[in-house]
A and B are shown apart, each in its own frame.
Chain A
Amino acid sequence: MFRKVLIANRGEIAVRILRACREMGIPAVCVFSEVDRTALHIRLADEAYCIGPAPSRESYLCIDKLLDVARRSNCDAIHPGYGFLAENPALPRACADAGITFIGPSPETMELMGSKTAGKQLARRADVPTVPGTDDPIDTPEEAQSIARNMGYPVVLKAVAGGGGKGMRVITEEGAFPAAWRDASSEALNAFGDARVFLEKYLDSPRHIEIQIFADAHGRVVSLGERECSIQRRHQKVVEEAPSTVVTPELRRKMGEAAVRLARAGGYVNAGTVEFLVDANLNFYFLEVNTRLQVEHPVTEQVTGLDLVKLQIAIAAGARLPFAWETITPRGHAMEVRLYAEDPDNNFFPCPGKILARRIATGPGIRLDEGVYRGWVVPLEYDPLLSKLIAWGNSREESISRLRRALDEYTITGIRTNVSLFRRILAEPDFLRGEIHTRWLDELLARPRPPAVPPRPETEAAAAIAAAYWESLQPAASSAPQTSSSSRWKLDGRRSQLDRQP
């Protein structure tokens, strides 16, 4: 086993990995940028080193600084978490040169499977169904338009280097093609420095269902079942669950086998996720591979009873996967919501600031993975994910009622969070029936909101009494100035520049 592990990340995932190391008796080395000195992962760390100023490119994205810390602190392994450098082949390559184990797949596998077009070609070779479309980037709009005509509309243009919905345009009719081509390539160029786009058949209202795979270095590859991640806001997952309401044991076996074939074809080792789109007839199509641990890994942990992070570490250290896992089936049901410091009533603006107080959700079937605490100031520089609230139940109904109960218990005072979004989703009849697809949430948010439940008179009375009582406890009033921020339109423009982690 490893002597010491360097955690090349921050936030809740750094805490998650740290906990796995602790349980395995491996000392954990954490890193922090100047604004993260007080972050929870540093409070819990065995060793901690500052790696530079707040901007990620000067700290968490600096491979040389990370390797320097690893050498200085005598680490023999690095866990990248998700986001930051987790899918950058340069990190495992630098680790190999330094004689340090990278907890994840090889750089060659990352290159082979990480890019959307390369991954798709590999899927074809491995006999994994893919969405009809071009494997290669298309050179001219004329060529693309003639392919689209043959394929039949709707089609979608996607950036080769893409992610997070940037450089992506859905085209429903021929006339809209030239404008969509222009927008997709210029957006791709701006976001990724690469204007190349490719074309795919557009599936109407598909589900996003992904398979968690695990592979050891001795040739065994297993599927740990699916996660349903169709609840997305602008291509960002916000609610995930396992198992999916539409996946039968037969479909689970077929999707699992396809994912395992793909992993074998790519020489995959360690944890990975194969994402599929599933249409109304339960046909599944390969979407892409995430060559790392996923944000939503806890739902798989809750229904399999496995600790995926400890497993990642063990496999990186050379351990074998047991035979029995080749037929693993989910037990009960788990659902996760991602709580962000953002305002759902105001176009999901990030709301940084100090957490004045917190009331934690706990009790049967509830798990809280987070990197925050009372008194901590949520930094402005990073993804505003605060907590992942995960509920487990014997049935989907039970995990939903536990999640609702936990959302009522969990309060954060001082900053705004998107908790009301989840109250709304968890009350929608379509969602409760499991009738969802990848555009479901965007469509829900585009509709007028149902009228809010008015507070009862006694609730209002209690609020008035509490406010007066609180005021009576305050020292003599000081006159705080009224400050107002600039135009919300301007802010929204800046907001759209903000990158979100996976």
Chain B
Amino acid sequence: MKFEVHLDSVTGKTRHMVDLEKDGSSYKVLLDGQPVSADVIVTAPYAVSVILNGTAFEIHIAPSPDGTYKLQTGPHEFQADVRDPRAWRGRKVGALEAEGRQQIVAPMPGKVIRLLVNAGDQVEAGQGLIVVEAMKMQNEIRSPKKGKVERLHAKEGQAVNAGDILAWVD
């Protein structure tokens, strides 16, 4: 399996090609085309241990709602966007307007304070749809695309968990 990994850290953005080839119970790893001695395994929930030429790293991985990963090891943090070059298109929507029918999910647990639109409304990309209060702060959840609010599941006053579907826009 071949992956294109875009890393973003304090020192800037870099891109690496990582090729993982199953080799019995472990992997053969090619980094930017060069074979490296890497032993990689999941050690604990959301933690990957990498022993690279004898140097040991434990990398803590948290998925972000936008499909990227937040990596942390010691004092270092990276944001990683992993793409499969063989796939039709990247998983990232980035700054581009989303395509297709989009579900609007709560980014964090909270309470629905206000609905800014009604089902059936036409909305612009970036237009506020729903206001969710989390940790005493109100966050406006915006439309990822221009289109029509198909369904509105959220109700004012309703408590929501991260990932709950609040609406559909198409």
Contacts A352-B135, A469-B20 given; indicate if A482 touches B52 (C-beta within 8 A): no
Task: Answer yes or no: A485 CB below 8 A from chain B CBs.
Answer: yes
Tell me the A residues contacting B by CB distance below 8 Å.
Answer: 349-354, 356-357, 359, 374, 377, 379-381, 384, 408, 411, 413-414, 420, 423, 451-455, 458-473, 477, 479-486, 490-491, 494-495, 497-498
Contact A468 B109 (CB under 8 A): no
Contacts A463-B73, A466-B50, A480-B105 given; indicate if A356 touches B45 (C-beta within 8 A): yes
21 A-B pairs (CB sep. < 8 Å)? A351-B135, A352-B135, A354-B109, A357-B47, A380-B110, A455-B9, A458-B53, A458-B55, A459-B73, A461-B31, A462-B73, A463-B57, A464-B18, A466-B48, A466-B50, A467-B69, A473-B42, A479-B100, A481-B144, A482-B66, A483-B144
| New contact pairs (19) apart from A463-B7, A482-B144, A483-B65, CB-CB < 8 Å | A352-B135, A357-B46, A380-B108, A380-B109, A380-B135, A408-B74, A423-B75, A451-B10, A462-B57, A463-B78, A467-B3, A469-B18, A469-B27, A471-B84, A481-B103, A483-B141, A485-B139, A485-B140, A491-B139
Contact B162 A353 (CB under 8 A): yes
Q: Which of A411, A464, A482, A495 contacts B16 (CB 8 A)?
A: A464
- Chain A residues within an 8 Å CB radius of B18: 464-465, 467-469
Contact B107 A483 (CB under 8 A): yes
- Chain B residues within an 8 Å CB radius of A485: 107, 139-141
Contact A380 B136 (CB under 8 A): yes
Contact A466 B140 (CB under 8 A): no
Tell me the B residues contacting A by CB distance below 8 Å.
Answer: 1, 3, 5, 7, 9-11, 14, 16, 18, 20, 27, 29, 31, 36, 38, 40, 42, 44-48, 50, 52-53, 55, 57-62, 65-67, 69, 71-76, 78, 80, 82, 84, 87, 91, 93-94, 98, 100, 102-105, 107-110, 126, 128, 133-142, 144, 161-162
Contact A464 B5 (CB under 8 A): yes
Contact A463 B11 (CB under 8 A): no
Which secondary structure dominates chain B's binding surface?
strand
- Chain B residues within an 8 Å CB radius of A455: 9, 11, 76, 78
Contact A466 B105 (CB under 8 A): no
Cβ distance A472 to chain B, nearest Cβ, rounded Å: 5
- Chain A residues within an 8 Å CB radius of B16: 460-461, 464
- Chain B residues within an 8 Å CB radius of A470: 48, 61, 69, 82
Closest 4 A/B residue pairs (Cβ): A468-B18, A467-B80, A486-B140, A380-B135
Cα distance A357–B47 when bound, in Å? 8
Contact A452 B10 (CB under 8 A): yes
